[in-house]
Homo-oligomer: A and B are copies of this chain.
Amino acid sequence: MMLVDGRPATLLSAADRGLNYGDGLFETLRVQAGTVPLLARHLARLSAGCRRLGLPCPDDAAWCADITRLLAETAGEGVLRLVLTRGDGTRGYAPPPDAQGRRIVSFHPLPTPAPRALRVGICQTRIGFSPALAGLKHLGRLEQVLAAGEVVAAGWDEGLMLDGEGRVVEATRHNLFYLRGGQLCTPPVELAGVAGVMRALVLEAQSRLGLPGGEAVLRYDELHEIEELLLCNAVAGLRPVRWLAGRELAGESILARMRQPLHEAGVTWLG
């Protein structure tokens, strides 16, 4: 089921700037027992993205009304996708001064569960640098589409994406955390990658636990130095990687320590 600007619909205008120019943002939210525990964080990130892009940002109340309506008609477990585009426009890149924006909210079943411990390879498709867009979950995901095709073809559960200079940025649909020399780190997202809601939660939990680390660059040729690798997103939570490009990674010390603080933050669906 899907709502477009609050009305049940499966179609939208072919003049939508989200389609024609990738002019919009999206959020992917976990629905757990009929509720959306991280809703406030997702809406705050969306609102911050709107300010960066000059997108007209709907009131939280509009999103909440859509979500309430969808959840009343759907199962208690699943995924919500919120899309905000700049709405219709004539041909031409410049944002229309009177853009109204368009909300598209849809409910989806949970993805087929991946094995609890993941098999992860390294994608050939590089992720670009884009200082103007880095951190945002914008609609232009074509690099991730190509990389996800590699993941399927190779039979992995996920794939890491490197930037053009050989730094590990993220996986196709997850952020990542790695343990190296006792430091729990995640790649910075100032030049490339998505500043994920779950990534922020893990960083907060790390801080509360007093675990050393934080944002730090990880190069491809340093991957052999990491002791544990975890992938995270709002749907899957935080997942340990068991196999990384031919190497076994046995440890789960981080997941064990994170379970409690993440649970307290509302993430009750950790594996």
Interface residues of A (CB under 8 A from B): 2, 4, 9-23, 26, 28, 53-54, 79, 81, 83, 85-86, 90-95, 104, 106, 108, 111, 125-133, 138-149, 151-152, 164, 172-173, 191
Contact = CB atoms under 8 A, between A and B. Distances in A.
B21 A19 contact: no
- Top 5 A-B residue pairs of the complex, sorted by shortest distance between their CB atoms: A140-B140, A128-B130, A93-B148, A22-B140, A11-B11
14 contacts: A4-B14, A9-B14, A10-B13, A12-B14, A14-B106, A17-B145, A19-B85, A22-B22, A22-B139, A79-B91, A126-B132, A128-B132, A129-B164, A130-B143
A93 B141 contact: yes
Nearest to A12: B14
B12 A20 contact: no
B146 A53 contact: yes
A98 to B, nearest CB: 13
Q: How many copies does the complex hold?
A: 2
Contacts of A28: 91
B19 A139 contact: yes
A125 to B, nearest CB: 5
Given A10-B14, A93-B172, 11 more contacts: A12-B12, A18-B19, A20-B141, A21-B142, A22-B139, A53-B145, A54-B149, A81-B91, A92-B148, A126-B131, A140-B142
